[in-house]
Amino acid sequence: MLPQAVIDKVTKLCSNFLWGGEGEYRRVPYVAWDAVYLPKKKGGLGTRNLDKWNSACIAKLVWAISLKKDNLWVRWVHGRYIKGRDWWGYTPKGDSSWY
């Protein structure tokens, strides 16, 4: 999971670029940033909300791990970290990295 500070920084850079053409904020936006996430059919730009996208990607990975899907990455996670235990009972070590 990406740290919230990283998601906030990327979102800020995207909104500043969209409204001002640069990475730094210079103009007042014409449309609320939440409206940008709307589908094009509803008047938005169809961009993705990074918070929701990040959560959905993590949920997809957790789902694959919990179902023990047959792919290399899931087998590696089970062999390296879970080691025959149930995913829902797994607790990472205190010195584990966020990723």
9 closest CA partner among 57, 51, 52, 38: 51
Whether 36 and 65 share a structural domain = no
Is 94 contained in some domain? no
Residue-range definition of the domain harbouring residue 56:
51-89
Taking the model in full, what pTM does it have? 0.60
**For the segment 10-19, what is each residue's pLDDT rounded down to a tens digit?**
777 777 776 6
Distance in angstroms (rounded) separating the CA atoms of residues 89 and 99: 18
Q: Are 1 and 92 in contact (CB under 8 A)?
A: no
| Closest C-alpha among 87, 97, 90 to residue 2 | 97
For residue 84, name the pLDDT band (cuts at 50, 70, 90).
confident
Mark 8-34 as b/e (b = at least 16 C-beta within 10 Å): eeeeeebebeebeeeeeeeeeeeeeee
> Is 23 found in the same domain as 11?
yes
In tens, the pLDDT along 22-59 reads 556 566 666 777 788 888 898 888 888 888 888 899 89
